[in-house]
Amino acid sequence: MFDSVAGIASVWKDDASGLFKSRTSPAPAARKVAPAASARSKPAPRTPAPSAREAARPAPAPRQPAPAPASREPAHQAPTHREPPRPVLAARQTPPQSDKQQRQDALRYKEALAELRAAREALATAHKQHTDALAAAHKQHKDALASAQKQQKDARAKLSELDSELRKARASTAAALKERDQQAAASAAQLAESARQRAAYAKLERRCRDLDGELARLKESKASAPSRARIAELEGALERQTEVISQLRNQRELFESRIARLEGELHRALSERDEDAARKLDQALTRQGALLLELQQQREADEERIAELVAAHNRHSEERDAQWAAKLDQALARQTTLVARIESQRAKYEERIGVLESDRRTLLDANESELAGQLEQALARSDALAAELDLQRSEYERKVARLEAEAREAADHQEARSDGETDALRQELEALRTAQAELRARLESSTAEVEALRRAQLDERDAQSSRLEALLTSKTEELESKARELAAKDEQLDSTSKQLDSTSKQLASTTEQLDSTTKQLDAATRELESKTNELETRAQDLASKDQHLAKLAAELDTVRADLQTERAARLEQRDKYESMIAQMADRHRTALDQLEAGERASVEELERSRSELERSRSELAQLQEAHAAAVGSLTQKGEATETRILELMLRAKTAESEASRTIIELEAAQETIEELQGRLAEAQAYAERCRALEAQFGWEIVETPGKEPKDG
């Protein structure tokens, strides 16, 4: 339109200089409107003052109003009020027209000029509104992009903090389990020692009863002086045995008090560890809920921004250029290809994660089965060793009983013998004590072997735990590598933002070119006004100007037809863009629904993990109660305590496996949260692409004849 007005001004300039040349106005070139265009004040149309000759003429007679100019008619109707060209040619052959006809022609020309000025002002107003709206949309897009990047960084920082806290909780749980195993081993050793002490105490009590019986028999027999000496010796031995028994009783009480204290400390430490783990888990779940709420709010804010962008697009869709349709199709194809590539990569990653998860579960099952087999073998070896020890102990007891019976028989038959026989009896008693000491040494060595076997089992279990920890570390490193890949994708998004900034700069340069064109148009307008004043003084040439007015009317009709064609094309383009935006909004809504489903699944997974942890905690409490009951019944059960301790260790191992399974499930929940964060990042990137495409709808292409259209 601007070029058409410039062409009309050039034609009038040639007419004023006497050069009646017919120029073909150039085709309207495609323009590109950029943001930050300044508003310009346009001179108001003014009516030129009448010349002196027209003022000296008498007032004309009343006449009919002149018909409306041709430019006021729509483009699809044929002009009905203009004179046909044949009377115009006839007027050229006749003498000069009258003043009345000249004034009518001058009025028609002024009306056409006023209409041209009004059209120019309307175009300038539309241009200003379009540039202002485009600048506001571009600024809003940049602000939204910056806020989305900041929110994404904050969310990643929060996720890293949660990951570190989960690692700390896992380390503290492992340390507490190890400490509990050590305390259980120490309590088992103390229980074994107390059992040995009780066995020795029982043997000494039996021996004391035997000596008491022998002393009573000696007193009843009223033996001679050697017998009395024997009785005194036996009484001294009895006193010594009584002192030893009292010492053993004191040691037993000391051991029992120490065992009770250690058990109380063990229960207290386990309860504190469980409370600490539960508190940490509740804190982690609270933070996860806050993060999910924040993500929900961010999603709502994104939906509001998208709705605002759609409303802005609907407000300014009529001023967009039709030449962006091909570019938009290409961009959509590239975006579709990129989305397909990302989906394929995500599918590959999910498949690989599934394979790794199955391998990990297989390895854990194999390790658990191997540990169970080793534990069963160790229990079998321990049972065999206990049976062998029982056989040896029964054999030694039979030997001691036989020797004691022989000693009693010898004492009955040799009450009146000499001191030499008493020495022989004393030697036999010393041999009996030596055999008892050897039996005690054998029992201690057997107990040491059992303790060494238990320590070997504990070391093997610690090595297995270290291997599992190394495997967990390798999985964590793989997750960190995936996080680095996501960071690389974020850098690609930053580069895309930089490209958008460069495009904005190119738009600014195009705006400057448009400003220069507007200045040229203003100069042409001023020249047009000067020529109008000159034409008012040349009323005698109005007859020759009819032909030029006809040309102007034809050009106006052409411009009007072009405007209507362009308007129809832009309306069609607006409908197309609106359908595309509706499709994008549907896809975005589908992605948000998927994100909500993933969030609900993660919350359910966390609830299941919490219930499993509570179940393991209740099982641990049951184990503790069973352990307390076993400790309370140690004095009645005797040798069965070691078997009970082994059962408790097996249950503790089961509880440890349950705790490790709970930790693995927590890690799976963390992986699910990271996957949800990745989906959220993809949704945000998709929303940013939508906003970028919507901002691109207001851009236009600068086209050079003979060349392909290009961006910016």
**Confidence (pLDDT) at 403:** 66
High-pLDDT (> 70) share of the chain, %: 42
Distance from the Cα of residue 60 to its chain's centroid: 86
Confidence of residue 465 (pLDDT cuts 50, 70, 90): low
Nearest in space to 386 (alpha carbons), one of 685, 642, 147, 118: 642
**Long-range Cβ contact pairs of 367-371 (< 8 A, separation 24 or more):** 367/464, 367/467, 367/468, 368/657, 371/461, 371/464, 371/653
Q: What DSSP line would sit under 443-472, residue for residue? A: HHHHHHHHHHHHHHHHHHHHHHHHHHHHHH
**CB–CB of 672/601 below 8 Å?**
yes
Averaged over 617-641, what is the pLDDT?
63
pLDDT digit string (tens) for 401-457?
776 676 667 556 655 555 565 566 567 667 666 766 676 676 677 667 767 776 776
Q: Give me the pLDDT at residue 231, please.
A: 64
Distance CA 712, CA 710 (A): 7
Q: Model confidence at 49, in pLDDT bands (50, 70, 90)?
A: very low
Give pLDDT, residue 68.
Answer: 41
Question: What is residue 497's predicted lDDT score, i.e. its pLDDT?
Answer: 63
Binned at pLDDT 50, 70 and 90, residue 470 comes out as confident
Tokens of 568: 């129809």
pTM: 0.22
Q: Is the pLDDT of residue 114 over 60?
A: yes
CA distances from 615 to 267, 275, 281, 603 (A): 18, 14, 14, 18
- Give pLDDT tens digits for 295-318: 778 777 777 776 676 676 666 656
Residue 281 pLDDT: 66
Mean pLDDT of 95-123: 75
- 539 pLDDT higher than 60: no
Q: What's the CA gap between 498 and 509, in Å, rounded?
A: 17
Report whether pLDDT(194) > 50: yes
Give the closest residue to 320 by CA, choosing from 699, 578, 581: 699
**Res 248: pLDDT:** 72
- The pLDDT, as a whole number, for residue 75 is 39
Given a contact cutoff of 8 angstroms between Cβ atoms, the answer to whether 596 and 344 are in contact is no
CA angle 483, 484, 490 (to 5 degrees): 95
Instruction: Name the CA dihedral angle for 659, 661, 663, 668, rounded to a multiple of 10 degrees.
Output: -160
Half-sphere exposure of 11 (CA within 13 A, CB side): 19
Name residue 658's amino acid. Answer: E
Q: For the beta carbon of residue 422, count every other beta carbon within 10 angstroms.
A: 17
Give the pLDDT of residue 92: 41
Read off the tokens for 163: 């990951």
CA distance 196 to 194: 5
Task: Express each pLDDT in 654-685 by its tens digit.
Answer: 766 776 777 777 777 777 777 777 777 777 77
What CA–CA distance (Å, rounded) separates 86 from 90? Answer: 6
User: What's the helix, strand, coil split of the chain in %, to 5?
Assistant: 85, 0, 15
Cα–Cα distance between 104 and 95 in angstroms, integer? 17
Predicted pLDDT of residue 193: 74
The yes-or-no verdict on residue 320 having pLDDT over 70 is no
Nearest partner of 659 among 274, 220, 93, judged by Cα: 274
Helix (H) or strand (E) holding 93: helix 85-93
- Maximum distance among all alpha carbons in the chain? 191
User: For residue 676, which of 598, 605, 600, 590 has the smallest C-alpha distance?
Assistant: 598
Summary mean pLDDT of the chain: 66
Q: Which of 24-38, 342-356, 456-470 has the lowest mean pLDDT?
A: 24-38
Asked if pLDDT for residue 88 goes beyond 60, the answer is no
Q: State residue 70's pLDDT score.
A: 39
Tokens of 648: 């408790």
Q: How far is CA 677 from CA 11, 278, 335, 590, 685, in A?
A: 66, 26, 21, 16, 12
